[in-house]
Structure 1
């Protein structure tokens, strides 16, 4: 492993960091994984710096030669399965269970996998989240069913907007508009059903829970720039959701 060209070490480590950051990993985990991969491939020294929009890596070999590179990250999502795969790959390299060529092939395969689940399972999962939150708010069978249907509709809107490559926070805003409108219409036709329970259940799939968690973890770990960036992103997402709901409730 000591004779691996420094360019290949950097390429492998940066690709691993890119895959993790694109799929919602926290900053400290990305930096740690890149460092261990570089060291496992034969780097004498490795310095990593990660922010939500980019990864930076400097690697030095035993001869004193060093190479620095960066990778810009523009699109981010949440896919914990990909993060787990890269973590396992890193451990395999460190324990010499896989070699560099196999690791690169696995990384390319992971990076090229189809993102997320198909539409119907995603809609059913979102509906389950919405229905469960309706139950937690003491909603009856009617509110639970309406929240289930509303959350499914919100997930469909997210799917449609993502295919159009819209501006960030667009689907959160439109999803909240739809949730509030469906909740209000359901309450209008069936006054016995609670509008608030339906709306809250419908917007729960839009809540940026992972982003908030990662922001707090980054701040605790001392990555203040990343923590503040993720926190601002989560706050803007929350504002987009709130604006969608407020606009509809003010009109209806």
Structure 2
């Protein structure tokens, strides 16, 4: 009988270990891909309680994730080093957590699906991202009161600027340099376009072309985190968004100062 109880306890501890691994992976995916902390907090606690952890202790920030299961003497810490925006991954993690809540997945199946989301969910191809940059910038030019003559130049400048941003981001891991150099490129191209009569309004070309670089999601998440009481994450994201905006502004200002 004692042997049976011990074996059952070991199985339970293994299940809890897999469950905590799944919780940490879910949180890592969501934070790295732009989820606000309220959503992360809700998802991780839902997974923990549906998995049988009665009193989970979970703490999330933009740079780290911690969990403690007191009853099973389990504690884990996961650093968060990468940051980006991929709301498809966030949505898929939410879907997996709800399937687990509805008893459609076991702990092991949930963990396997989360690893698949982390490793195999593809990002949009480069040419689709460039098309998106064009679609964002050119219509916004008209909304902001620009002229039809600048519609095509704004889109082309935005595509070139976003290409610079993408290439630097993929090859160099220095924060904010990609925003600075891409905005510098956009400003320079806008000035040259007007100078050589390919465009008519420098300011409108610049404003429209930098829109794909603006950290709108980061700003929104910062406000939501602060209002929800996640002050540490909210302030961190706010500072990150501010530094990104400053990098974009400095790149444009440098061009307008010397050209």
Structure 2 length normalisation: TM-score? 0.92
* Residue 212 (structure 1) aligned to one of 219, 227, 244: 219
Q: Secondary structure at the match of 2:82?
A: coil
More moved, 82-91 vs 108-117? 108-117
Match of 1:35 in 2: 45
Task: Flag the structure with larger Rg.
Answer: 2
Q: Judge conservation of contact 1:215–1:227 (CA < 8 Å) in 2.
A: yes
| Residues 157-202 of structure 1, C-alpha deviations (whole Å, 9 max, x = no match) | 1221122123011111011001100100001011761111101111
Unaligned ranges ≥5, structure 2: 1-10
Distance 1:158 1:180 in 2: 14
Distance 1:130 1:222 in 2: 34
Q: Secondary structure at the match of 1:226?
A: helix
Q: Secondary structure at the match of 1:196?
A: helix
**Residues 1:8 and 2:15 aligned together:** no
Unaligned ranges ≥5, structure 1: none
Distance apart, 1:116 and its partner CA = 2.2
- CA RMSD of superposed structures (Å): 1.6
**Residues 1:139 and 2:146 aligned together:** yes
Q: Judge conservation of contact 1:2–1:42 (CA < 8 Å) in 2.
A: no
Which has the larger share of helix?
Answer: 2
* Residue 162 (structure 1) aligned to one of 166, 169, 181: 169
Matching of residues 149-188 of structure 1 within 5 Å: 149-188=156-195
**Residues 1:243 and 2:250 aligned together:** yes
Q: Judge conservation of contact 2:33–2:89 (CA < 8 Å) in 1.
A: yes
Q: Judge conservation of contact 1:2–1:41 (CA < 8 Å) in 2.
A: no
Distance 1:22 1:52 in 2: 8
Runs of 4 or more consecutive aligned structure 1 residues displaced over 4 Å after TM superposition: 1-4
Distance 1:208 1:35 in 2: 28
Distance apart, 1:102 and its partner CA = 1.5
Q: Judge conservation of contact 2:15–2:107 (CA < 8 Å) in 1.
A: no
| Residues 95-131 of structure 1, C-alpha deviations (whole Å, 9 max, x = no match) | 1111112111110110002552111110010111110
Aligned length: 249
